[in-house]
Structures are given as C-alpha cells and as structure tokens.
C-alpha cells in the first residue's frame, strides 16, 4: 500500500490503524481469551515503548477485535456504520471538550440542545427536556430517580422514610430495571415482573392486578417500565392501555425505547409507538437503529425542570458563567461527560428527516426479505412474525445455542440466541440496512451447513454408544 506521509505523527498513526482495521473488517475470525493473551503483550511494563513497537501491538489488537459492521454480524441491537457519524465521533475525541458548561463546550451545548429538542418533538413532548447518558441502562436509572423524586420530593435531601416502593416491568423488559432498583435503594426484590402475551407484550390486566395487590398490602407503587422493542423479541408494549392503568394508580410511566424509539422517524412505522406522548419519560438510543457509534443514549422527560430538581448541585468552581440553560451539568447524571450529541446531530443533518425515514424503511425491507427466506425453507422455523428487526427462528433438530457457538468459534459469524414460550431460538438482528440480501442469504446457508455438521457429528458419536450398549446387554 502506498505511503502518504503527512509529517504529522498523529495523522500517520491514525491512517495506519484505520488501514489495518479496514483490511480486516470483513473478517469474523474468533480468538479465544488464551489466544489473545499469547499474541498480545497485555501487561504494562516499566519502561516506555518505542512508537513502532506500540503501533504493532495496537494493530494486533485491532485485527483481533470482533467486527460489528460486516455481513456476518447479527448479534446485537447495533451494527454497521455511517461514515459521517464515525468521523464526527473521532473529532469528539480530538477536540476533547466536556459537556458540563458552555464555557468549555461552546457550540456543542447548542448542538446538544437541538438534538434533544428534535427528539422531544418526535415523541410529542412539546414542553419536554432531556439529557445524554452513557447507555440506555443509565438513562433508565435516571428515569427511576425522576419517578421516585416526583412521588416524594423530599427524598433527595432526607433519604427514604421507610415506605416500600414498588416498580413494574415486563418479563421481557431489560435487566437494567432490576439492577437500577438495587442501585437507587428501591431494592431488586421490589420490582414486579408482569407476565406477557404470546407476542411478548405486557398484559395490561396483569399489571392492574399486581398494582392493586401491592396497594392493598400497604406498599407504594411508583414506576412502571414499558418497553418499545424488547431485547429478545423486539416486542412493543401497548403504551395507551398500560398508561391508563398506571395513571389510575399515580404511577410514573417510563418507556424504554432504547431500541425501538427510532421508528418515530418513519411515518409508516410510528404507529408501533402509539400513545408514547402519554409517557412521563422515554429512553432513546441513537446508537442502535440510527446507526451512530456507541454510545449515544438520551433520557427525555415530558415535563421541563425535573432534571435540575433531581440532579443539580451547587459547584461554584465549575458553574461560573452563563445561565443554567447553557450549563448542561446542572441537569446531568455526570460531571465530566463525553460529547455524544455531535455525531447524531451531524448524521441527522446529513440525512435529514426524509433520509432517516428512508434508512429505517430499508431496515424493515431487509427484515421482511429475511423472514420470507426463512419461511420458504423447510429446515427453518420462524418463531413469530417480528414487530421490529429481530428475526427469531430455529433450525429443526439442532439446539440454537450450539449453532451460535459453532458459528462464532469457527469464525463464520456472530448471532445470538434466546428462549421464549419454551422455544429456544436464534435471534438475527437486521439492524444494518447496508448489508445486501445476497450476503444475508449466504449467512443463512452457512447456518444450515454448520447445523448439518453438528447433526452428523452427533450421529457419529451416537453409533459407538449404541454399539457399546448392545455389547453390554
């Protein structure tokens, strides 16, 4: 490869690492933990390393890192890449501004405000506000704090008074709700998991019954987490019906739209989130369906002023200039905070509303093509028609977890698995609209080959066993 030295070590080193990454990006090779330990000098030594030696180590790490933007990665709710968002994210590290004050962040505070305003308007929060969080789990945590503090404003200063607060989420809801209940002092055992229907959607009548039971027991129900795009199935809870029950009992309604809130950008798909404007708060992860690099999560509140009431603290050494409106640190979980707004703003500017709508439609079109291919193949069984981008299916006669592990360890691709309704299945997330259908069909063919190999291996193992049993008898 031709050299294009700029006499700038930073640019040259960056170009070298990017070249190595691009050359290996189509690879799905698997490296065991021991293989990494054997090939990468991980220990931190006493003496400095020469640049060339360090660069060789960094290149080795890059090559051995799982690639999430190729035609064999379907394992998570994120994948692919939009080049402009990647460039903007790299510039964030280069500019190295923190997002607590306008004095330090300058135009990026205004950019963040615009993105949050746009997201709030998409939901229907005309008077809303928001903040960026390092991931959907912490956005959900912030929502639980808002709910607790709204029910009992004095808890921020004096702490709990002894009441047992109860939160509700579906059996298919994200694990962060229970985890966060432990973090903020509610207690994990005080999170009720509401049963779901055959589609993985929370049952409204069961929520109502659980809340009534807790009220009669003297507990204090305060929060319900509805999910817009569950992790395993991609299911959407009925926000309208569930909100009515929750509001009748004065519960804070939070919609965890970490995965599915982005469908609001498509007029055709927005009906999946019917009633979302009724929520008190919403989590929205742009690093999933919107195609920006990790992490890019927003917590959005229907009512303004609640974030500062829960998270603001006096710090004269920091908030020295401008109004609170221009100092996001007064309404944030964090002090020092990475700038996550710039990348989604840049990409949203590039695509516009219409471009994002087209991108989301391409995701759903690709999903439908995959569903059609699976339904037309007698060796596959579709678990259910997908609501979002999760295509859940299994190969007849072979355990899904074995297939997933074999694909990974043979370096053939990454795909996850799950269980619902007594059925264990593979979960193929079609979140990258730039993967061509021909490549996806090839991956399905690879799954069949791996599954057939496993069946043959099982049959060969079974023959000596049968022979031995016959001899013993």
Show the domain range for 399.
354-470
Q: How many distinct structural domains can be found in the chain?
A: 3
What is the C-alpha to C-alpha distance for residues 173 and 179, in angstroms, rounded to an integer? 12
Judge if 242 and 382 occupy the same domain.
no
User: Is residue 77 assigned to a domain?
Assistant: no
Judge if 196 and 56 occupy the same domain.
no
Judge if 287 and 365 occupy the same domain.
no
Q: How far is CA 280 from CA 13, 96, 115, 180, 301, in A?
A: 47, 33, 19, 18, 6
Judge if 251 and 296 occupy the same domain.
yes
Task: Please name which of 232, 288, 298 lies closest in space to residue 263, comparing C-alpha atoms.
Answer: 288
User: Is residue 301 assigned to a domain?
Assistant: yes
Q: What is the CATH number of the domain that holds 383?
A: 3.90.1150.10
Judge if 364 and 330 occupy the same domain.
no
Judge if 252 and 234 occupy the same domain.
yes
Q: Which of 297, 331, 348 is the last residue in one of the domains?
A: 348
Judge if 231 and 252 occupy the same domain.
yes
Cβ proximity of 416 and 76 under 8 Å: yes
Enter the pTM of the model. Answer: 0.95
Judge if 122 and 92 occupy the same domain.
yes
Each residue's pLDDT expressed in tens, for the chain with a length of 473 residues: 445 556 789 999 999 999 999 999 999 999 999 999 999 999 999 999 999 999 999 999 999 999 999 999 999 999 998 999 999 999 999 999 999 999 999 999 999 999 999 999 999 999 999 999 999 999 999 999 999 999 999 999 999 999 999 999 999 999 999 999 999 999 999 999 999 999 999 999 999 999 999 999 999 999 999 999 999 999 999 999 999 999 999 999 999 999 999 999 999 999 999 999 999 999 999 999 999 999 999 999 999 999 999 999 999 999 998 888 999 999 999 999 999 999 999 999 999 999 999 999 999 999 999 999 999 999 999 999 999 999 999 999 999 999 999 999 999 999 999 999 999 999 999 999 999 999 999 999 999 999 999 999 998 887 565 556 656 66
Q: How far is CA 291 from CA 226, 328, 344, 360, 385, in A?
A: 23, 25, 9, 10, 24
The two tokens of residue 151 are 């029910």
Task: Please name which of 250, 254, 236, 249 lies closest in space to residue 301, comparing C-alpha atoms.
Answer: 254
The two tokens of residue 143 are 């929502």
Judge if 387 and 251 occupy the same domain.
no
User: Is residue 205 assigned to a domain?
Assistant: yes
User: Is residue 372 assigned to a domain?
Assistant: yes
Judge if 31 and 103 occupy the same domain.
no
């Amino acid at each position: 490869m031709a050299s294009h030295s700029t006499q700038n070590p930073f640019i040259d080193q960056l170009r070298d690492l990017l070249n190595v990454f691009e050359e290996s990006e189509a690879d799905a090779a698997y490296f065991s933990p021991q293989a990494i330990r054997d090939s990468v000098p991980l220990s931190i030594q006493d003496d400095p390393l020469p640049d060339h030696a360090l660069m060789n180590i960094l290149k080795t790490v890059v090559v051995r890192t799982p690639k999430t933007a190729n035609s064999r990665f379907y394992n998570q709710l994120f994948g692919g890449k939009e080049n402009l968002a990647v460039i903007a994210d790299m510039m964030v590290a280069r500019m190295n501004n923190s997002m607590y004050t306008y004095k330090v962040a300058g135009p990026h505070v205004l950019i963040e405000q615009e993105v949050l305003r746009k997201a709030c308007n998409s939901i229907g929060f005309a008077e809303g506000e928001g903040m960026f969080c390092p991931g959907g789990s912490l956005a959900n945590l912030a929502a639980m704090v808002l709910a607790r503090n709204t029910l009992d404003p004095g808890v921020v200063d004096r702490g709990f008074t002894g009441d047992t607060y109860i939160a509700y989420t579906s059996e298919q809801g994200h694990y962060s709700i229970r985890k966060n209940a432990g973090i903020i002092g509610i207690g994990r055992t005080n999170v009720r998991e509401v049963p779901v229907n055959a589609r993985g959607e929370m049952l409204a009548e069961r929520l109502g019954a659980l809340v009534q039971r807790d009220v009669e027991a003297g507990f204090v129900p305060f929060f319900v987490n509805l999910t817009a795009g569950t992790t395993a199935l991609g299911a959407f809870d009925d926000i309208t019906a569930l909100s009515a029950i929750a509001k009748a009992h004065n519960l804070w309604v939070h919609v965890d739209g970490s995965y599915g809130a982005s469908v609001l950008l498509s007029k055709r798909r927005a009906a999946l989130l019917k009633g979302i404007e009724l929520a008190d708060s919403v989590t929205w992860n742009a690093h999933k369906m919107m195609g920006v690099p990790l992490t890019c999560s927003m917590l959005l509140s229907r009512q303004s002023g609640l974030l500062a009431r829960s998270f603001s603290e006096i710090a004269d050494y920091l908030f020295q200039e401008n109004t609170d409106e221009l100092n996001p640190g007064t309404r944030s979980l964090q002090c020092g905070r990475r700038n996550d707004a710039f990348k989604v703003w840049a990409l949203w500017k590039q695509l516009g509303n219409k471009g994002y709508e087209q991108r989301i439609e391409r995701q759903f079109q690709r999903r439908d093509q995959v569903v059609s291919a699976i339904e037309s193949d007698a060796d596959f069984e579709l678990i259910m028609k997908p609501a979002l981008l999760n295509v859940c299916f299994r190969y007849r006669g072979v355990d899904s977890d074995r297939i997933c592990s074999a694909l990974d360890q043979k370096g053939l691709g990454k795909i996850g698995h799950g269980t619902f309704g007594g059925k264990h299945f593979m979960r193929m997330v079609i979140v990258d609209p730039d993967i061509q259908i021909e490549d996806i069909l090839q991956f399905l063919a690879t799954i069949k080959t791996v599954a057939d190999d496993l069946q043959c291996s099982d049959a060969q193992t079974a023959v000596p066993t049968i022979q031995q049993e016959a001899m013993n008898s």
